[in-house]
């Protein structure tokens, strides 16, 4: 592995910027080079694209206040635990 290679973990960290076309050209090229050789990361990229497409068509429904509060409590407990 040389200095230009990208690890899967690095790709995962950069995928949002890649999908938003916000990566510098050199990073985009490294990421695309990794995608050309890694079927697992290509599958991950397609899963992310599918998730974005799905979320884009979901109706926006407000979260009931009691459910929102339970979720917030759960996340706070998880973060502090």
Task: Specify the length of the chain in residues.
Answer: 81
Note whether residue 3 is domain-resident. no
pLDDT digits (tens, 9 = 90+) for 57-66: 767 788 889 9
Section 40-55 average pLDDT: 93
Residue 35 belongs to some domain of the structure: yes
Domain range spanning residue 62? 8-80
Phi-psi region of 55 (alpha: psi -120 to 50; beta: other; left: phi over 0): alpha
Model-wide pTM > 0.75: no
Half-sphere exposure of 32 (CA within 13 A, CB side): 10
On whether the CB atoms of residues 44 and 15 are closer than 8 A, the answer is yes
With respect to residue 68, please indicate whether it lies within any of the assigned structural domains.
yes
CATH of the domain at 25: 1.10.10
């Amino acid at each position: 592995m040389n200095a230009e290679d990208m690890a899967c973990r690095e790709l995962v960290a950069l995928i949002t910027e890649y999908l938003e076309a916000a990566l510098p050209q050199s990073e985009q090229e490294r990421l695309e080079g990794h995608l050309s050789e890694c079927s697992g990361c290509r599958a991950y990229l397609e899963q992310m694209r599918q998730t974005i497409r799905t979320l884009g068509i979901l109706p926006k429904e407000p979260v009931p206040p009691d459910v929102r509060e339970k979720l917030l409590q759960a996340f706070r407990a998880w973060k502090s635990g």
